[in-house]
Chain A
Amino acid sequence: MSAVTENTTPVKPLAQRINWVKLAPWLYTIGLFVAWELLVIALQTPPTILPAPSRVFQAIVQYWSPIWKNSLQTLYTTTVGFAIAVVAGLAIGLFIGWSKAIYAGLYPLMIGFNAIPKVALVPILVIWFGIGAVPAILTAFLISFFPIVVNVATGLATIEPETEDVLRALGAKKLDIMLKVGIPRSMPYFFGSLKVAITLAFVGSVVSETVASNYGLGNMMSSAQSQFNVPLVFAGLLMLAVEGIAMYALMAWIEMRMTGWAHRSTMSQ
């Protein structure tokens, strides 16, 4: 690097022309895999304990057909559960944020409900709906709708009192204030919560698939595990990570598109 600092010619050296910030996520990811590979080589861990990433990628290629099908199944249950959570979360959030009395009454119930581990609900869902996609969808829904509710309700509950006074003095009804101020105002909170909710939805669907389904990545990993096919288990984990990142990025993109005004510092630069 000392050569770089001494270089005074107008053509910038390669190291300065590269956008390191943009490249960083890829470099760090590659770095992680390289470190993992080296660790496995150094410790000589058997593939049944910790397979090297090269072995995991090999498993992805080898079992591509089941991995692909199960990935789509998990993506399907997650997205459906998440979609229900978005609709229900938005509706309940608006309902709770509507009045202080409803907020006060329902909030403790919501906290208590959220404190219940959703894994514990899977057996009940199985009793009601049998094994398969339905419990997975419902678990994804149950685990992911809470952050949406809380965020929408918070957005509504934190309207500036001055704004409310200005509008009420003009004769605005509660509905007017909600439509003109409350709901637009809670949208950044809502879209922000989607990023949290989608990640949780994956947790819910995979947990349910692991316990009570014949399809999906959760089921695939649990049967691979029972056959000591550890590379395939890791292949499933990798696919989940990829799906999770993709859906998160989609939510972040939607958030930017819908509520760009709330990210004004980044927009004005």
Chain B
Amino acid sequence: MPHLVTIDNVDMRYGGAAGTLAVSGLTMKVGKGEFAAVVGPSGCGKSTLMKLVTGLHIPQSGVVIVADKQVTKPVSIVGMAFQNPTMLPWRTTLDNILLPLEIVERHRHRLRTNKKEYVEKAEHLLETVGLKGFGSKFPWQLSGGMQQRANLCRALIHEPELLMLDEPFGALDAFTREELWCVIRDLHAAQGVTIILVTHDLREATFLADRIFVMSARPGKVLKEHAVPFARPRDLEVMYEKAFNDMVHELHGEIASARVVA
């Protein structure tokens, strides 16, 4: 499988030569179309990983390669979604979703003339995540779970090759979270997009991902890599199987010992 993201022996230090070393000797490869999850103790540099892959930070040593190009500036083939949906309150949900198109170079010049086509695409995405007919509502008229669905639409509207998710379901209640797991599972299956999910939730990682990277405490590096064996499409019921629980248990043990070392 060709790799979409290759991180090779990367060091990233904040605040000059004497600053904190956030990640050190970080190496990981994510294949095209793969769903990868990154788990680890808090402060392990998961957010740094997000910024390295999207090109918001350039590492001091080592290389980050995304889509066969070394990352030296922000890469516009990614979509990002954070725990905080950060919808702009003065725009309707539909206009919020269209926002990336006003930025990305290859879309911004044809947005005005091809508005109808883009709006159709946004409405189709809204339908996919179960928000059909909510495009004209303002974000603050939506519940937290609905805002997070819209946030996913915004991250996907410009057809990114890579979707970076930083604990996108962290602030949601358990049932909404499971619903959204299924939404993201179906999006991944339907669109063939590569996804890197940063999360604290081990069941979430095991349910969704093909491959799980366990990171060490600061300075972060990959301690262990797991291939998730469960066949797709996965049903929520898979979480009650013994093999699933064993895997979650094993991940839990690894993170617990990574915390002790720190």
Contacts and interface: CB of A to CB of B under 8 A. Distances in A.
A160 B80 CA distance: 14
Contacts of B141: 268
Interface residues of B, number: 28
Contacts of A166: 80, 82, 86, 100, 154-155
A165 B158 contact: no
Interface in B54-102: 54-56, 74-76, 78, 80, 82, 84, 86, 88-90, 99-100, 102
A170 B100 contact: yes
Contact of B89 (A170, A264, A268): A264
B50 to A, nearest CB: 8
A169 B78 contact: yes
B103 A176 contact: yes
A12 to B, nearest CB: 34
A172 interface: yes
B75 A169 contact: yes
Task: Label chain A's interface by main secondary structure.
Answer: helix
A163 B155 CA distance: 12
A168 B73 CA distance: 10
B230 interface: no
Contacts of B80: 165-166, 169
Contacts of B51: 165
A262 B56 CA distance: 30
A238 interface: no
Contacts of B173: none
Interface residues of A, number: 22
A170 B157 CA distance: 12
B74 A169 contact: yes
B138 interface: yes
A62 B24 CA distance: 85
B99 A180 contact: yes
Contacts of A167: 99-100, 103
B105 interface: yes
Nearest to A173: B103
A168 B76 contact: no
A172 B103 contact: yes
B104 A170 contact: yes
A172 B155 CA distance: 15
A264 B140 CA distance: 8
Nearest to A187: B90
Interface in A218-269: 259, 261-262, 264, 268
A264 B155 CA distance: 25
Nearest to B164: A169
A168 B56 contact: yes
> 9 shortest A-B CB distances, which residue pairs?
A169-B54, A171-B76, A170-B103, A163-B86, A162-B82, A172-B103, A261-B90, A264-B140, A162-B86
26 contacts: A162-B86, A163-B88, A165-B54, A166-B80, A166-B154, A167-B100, A169-B55, A169-B74, A169-B75, A169-B78, A169-B164, A170-B76, A170-B104, A170-B158, A180-B88, A181-B88, A184-B88, A184-B90, A185-B88, A185-B90, A187-B90, A259-B90, A261-B90, A261-B140, A262-B90, A264-B89
Given A162-B84, A169-B74, A169-B164, 18 more contacts: A165-B82, A166-B155, A167-B99, A169-B75, A169-B78, A170-B104, A170-B158, A171-B76, A171-B104, A171-B105, A176-B102, A176-B103, A180-B102, A185-B90, A261-B138, A261-B140, A262-B90, A264-B140
